[in-house]
A = this chain, B = another copy of it.
Amino acid sequence: MGHKVKLDFLTTVSPKYAREIIDSYVTPLGFESLSIKSCLGRVLASDLISPEDLPYFDRSLVDGYAMRSKDSQGASETNPLVLWKKGSVRVGELPKISVSEGECVYVSTGAYVPSGADSVIMQEFTREMGDVVEIMKPVYKGENIVRMGEDIKKGDIIFKKGKRITVHDIGIFAALGLTKIPVFKKPKVAIISTGDEIVSPDEKAGSGKIRDINGYLLDGLFTKLGGETVTPGIAKDEIEDVVNKLSLVKDCDIFCVSGGSSKGERDVIAKALEKSGGRILFHGVNIRPGKPFLFGLIWDKPFFGLPGHPLSCLIVTYRFVVPFFLKVAGCSETSPKTLKGVLITNVPSSQGIEEYVNVRIIPKGREIFVEPIFAKSAVISVLTFSCGYIVVDENREGYEKGEEVDVYFYES
């Protein structure tokens, strides 16, 4: 699979082939067990099976009288029926009494409905007079009761492995007493920006120097997506420096190195990868932007050589690295959010190359319009006003105004 790096030209592979190669290197990470309060946003490492019935017992939904529905037949305001009040059950209590024919028991909202009763009549439709209660309307079987197990049954699979844990899921965990949640470990992502011209954001730019953007974009992105990021610093365009920075973060699960991967005098990433004992699986993909995109293995871990231009770096990352990262993170949902919309201008492109174009969306009533943003790749303010990108298939020479396209959303 590995081929020698050619410095003079890039032999490109198709984006489909690139994705297949990348996907063949997904290796799942281990598990850890987290408390219910620290698992928000993490990814379930196994199916969760309900250990209990929910509700745990027949509960009253109202303040009223637990009774047998039969005993209410024919009751009305003008012709109330009379039941013996046998006692009451407060919320939090286990009933010590049961309900027989002609009897009722006062229950509060949420209280355990005593055995024998099959319904609860709301207090509003009764009149309590000493030891007896007048029933002024009929109730049906099950009225105002939520039955044990009606909500969730013991043994039900309540969540599937690979689900990202939401706020609402945590409510279900709490209800079922699931306080230790098995989640996948966070993938550890090494992020290195390379380039002689790159300085840290706290240094002065100008005089040919520019500040590191990719390192911060990727750090934010993989943090947001649930990764742990490790940033050993900016590397010079020197093989030794890149090799050295990589060796500082050997224990990572995924390596992202941006810059220095295009053809020409600066092709140090490929050489640094090989010098570190890694190998290249492809170098160059038939896409725009991002043609010099490189994928390989280092210490048997996936290694991504990303473009130096921030917009190109980001789009290649969203398109190729993020779905892979999410698979490694154990997520069952790895595709970006998409939305269909109608183009408001033509999008020219060349046949034979898969092209990505930043867009913004303009909702108008129930229609979604899509506006392509054509910008020089160095113009990073595009980051703030594009919400995603569209893909022009390699078999097409662009799209025409009015065509429907899929918008792939960025994280925000």
Contacts and interface: CB of A to CB of B under 8 A. Distances in A.
A209 interface: yes
A168 to B, nearest CB: 4
A379 B146 contact: yes
A267 to B, nearest CB: 12
Nearest to A55: B378
A201 B215 contact: no
A45 B61 CA distance: 45
A295 interface: no
Contacts of A3: none
B265 A151 contact: no
A210 B383 contact: no
Nearest to A63: B264
A410 B178 CA distance: 23
Contacts of A308: 109-110
Contacts of A237: 91
Contacts of A31: none
Interface in A90-126: 90-95, 108-112
A158 B57 CA distance: 57
A61 to B, nearest CB: 6
A207 B57 contact: yes
A167 interface: yes
A387 to B, nearest CB: 10
Interface string A161-181: 000001111111111111100
Copies of this chain per assembly: 2
Contacts of A201: 36, 173-175, 177-179
Contacts of A384: 158-159, 168-169, 172
A220 B167 contact: yes
A294 to B, nearest CB: 16
Interface in A356-381: 365-366, 368, 376-381
Interface string A207-218: 111111111110
A205 interface: yes
A127 interface: no
15 contacts: A57-B207, A57-B208, A59-B210, A109-B262, A110-B308, A110-B378, A111-B208, A167-B220, A167-B410, A167-B412, A170-B220, A174-B201, A175-B211, A175-B213, A177-B211
Q: Which 8 A-B pairs have the closest CB atoms?
A: A92-B197, A167-B220, A174-B216, A92-B196, A168-B383, A94-B207, A91-B197, A56-B206
Interface of A: 36-37, 40-41, 52, 54-57, 59, 61, 63, 89-95, 108-112, 146, 150-152, 158-159, 166-179, 195-198, 201-217, 219-221, 223-224, 237, 262, 264-266, 308, 310, 314, 340, 365-366, 368, 376-381, 383-384, 410-412
Given A109-B308, A175-B211, A176-B211, 17 more contacts: A36-B216, A41-B224, A56-B209, A63-B264, A91-B208, A94-B208, A110-B197, A110-B378, A151-B379, A168-B383, A171-B214, A171-B216, A171-B383, A174-B212, A175-B213, A175-B380, A177-B202
